C-alpha cells in the first residue's frame, strides 16, 4: 500500500485558507488515529501537515492540540500554525519536523536498526524524565482499559489488524487473556502513548522530535517501551535488545505482553 497519494484540496475554515493556498495535497494512508492527515507541499516553502476530524473524531483532535501545546514547552514537537472548529469538524495545521522518520530510515537501511535504537531510547528517557506532577493529562492503564472495553463492546476493534501472534483470536479472547496477565504493579511517567517508528523524526542519527501526540499522558513506561520494542523487533532481536539496554531497563515480559495486547484495541 502506498504511504500517501495525491488528492484534491479540501475546504478549510476561513482562518486557515491563506496558509494552505497554492499547495499540492497528499493524503496519508498510514496513520490509524481516525483523523485524516494531509501533507501540503509547495516548492518555495516547507511542507505543512493538516489533520482533520469529523464529529466522531473531533475530541481526539482537540486532545492532540492541547497536548501538543503543552509538550512544546518540554520537547521538540511540530509547530502549531493554526486550529479551527466549524460545525462538527476540526482542522489542525502544523509544520514539519526536520529529518526523516525512523521508519523511513530503517526501510531504506534495515541494518541501521541496532545503532538507531540507542538514539530512540535516549529520547524516550528524556520524555519519561519529565516531572509527572507537571503533566495535566492522564493516560494510565485503568483509563485505557475502560476505553478499550468501550471500543470492544461497540464492535470497533479491528481483529484483522491484530499482530501475527494474535491472528485468529477474537477481541474478547484477547481481552480475557490480557486481564489474566494483568501486571502486579505499574509505574508512573509522562508517556507518548504511540512511540512508534513512524512518529519519531531523525536527523544526523539523533531523534529531533515526535508527532501524533493525542495519547500523551501519565502512564506506565512500558506503554511506550512495548510499542517501541515491538517496532524494532520487526528488524530482529538485536535492535529491540539494544533499545532496552540503552534505556537502562531489563525486559519485563509481563508488562510488555499486557501493553501489546492493550494496544490491539486502538
The DSSP secondary-structure symbol of 29 reads: -
Dihedrals φ, ψ of 155, to 5°?
75, 30
- Of 1, 196, 226, 221, nearest to 106 by C-alpha is 196
Helices (H), the chain: 14-20, 58-71, 102-108, 113-128, 141-153, 171-180, 222-233, 237-247, 253-263
Positions marked active-site: 194
Question: What's the Rg (C-alpha) of the chain?
Answer: 19
Amino acid at each position: 500500500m502506498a504511504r500517501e497519494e495525491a488528492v484534491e484540496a479540501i475546504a478549510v475554515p476561513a482562518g486557515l485558507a491563506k496558509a494552505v493556498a497554492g499547495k499540492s495535497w497528499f493524503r496519508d494512508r498510514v496513520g490509524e488515529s481516525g483523523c485524516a492527515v494531509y501533507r501540503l507541499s509547495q516548492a518555495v516553502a516547507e511542507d505543512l501537515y493538516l489533520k482533520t476530524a469529523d464529529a466522531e473524531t473531533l475530541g481526539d483532535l482537540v486532545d492532540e492540540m492541547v497536548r501538543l501545546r503543552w509538550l512544546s514547552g518540554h520537547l521538540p514537537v511540530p509547530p502549531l500554525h493554526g486550529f479551527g472548529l466549524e460545525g462538527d469538524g476540526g482542522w489542525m495545521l502544523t509544520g514539519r519536523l526536520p529529518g526523516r522518520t525512523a521508519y523511513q530510515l530503517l526501510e531504506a537501511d534495515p541494518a541501521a536498526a541496532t545503532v538507531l535504537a540507542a538514539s530512540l531510547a535516549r529520547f524516550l528517557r528524556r520524555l519519561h524524565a519529565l516531572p509527572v506532577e507537571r503533566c495535566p493529562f492522564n493516560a494510565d492503564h485503568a483509563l485505557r482499559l475502560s476505553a478499550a472495553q468501550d471500543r470492544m463492546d461497540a464492535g470497533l476493534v479491528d481483529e484483522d489488524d491484530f499482530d501475527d501472534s494474535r491472528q485468529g483470536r477474537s477481541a474478547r479472547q484477547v481481552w480475557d487473556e490480557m486481564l489474566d496477565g494483568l501486571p502486579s504493579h505499574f509505574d508512573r511517567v509522562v508517556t507518548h502513548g504511540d512511540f512508534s517508528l513512524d512518529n519519531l523524526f531523525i536527523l544526523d542519527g539523533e531523534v529531533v522530535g515526535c508527532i501524533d501526540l493525542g495519547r500523551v499522558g501519565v502512564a506506565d513506561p512500558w506503554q511506550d517501551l512495548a510499542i517501541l520494542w515491538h517496532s524494532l523487533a520487526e528488524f530482529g532481536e538485536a535492535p529491540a535488545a539494544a533499545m532496552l539496554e540503552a534505556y537502562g531497563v531489563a525486559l519485563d515480559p509481563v508488562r510488555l505482553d499486557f501493553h501489546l495486547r492493550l494496544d490491539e484495541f486502538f
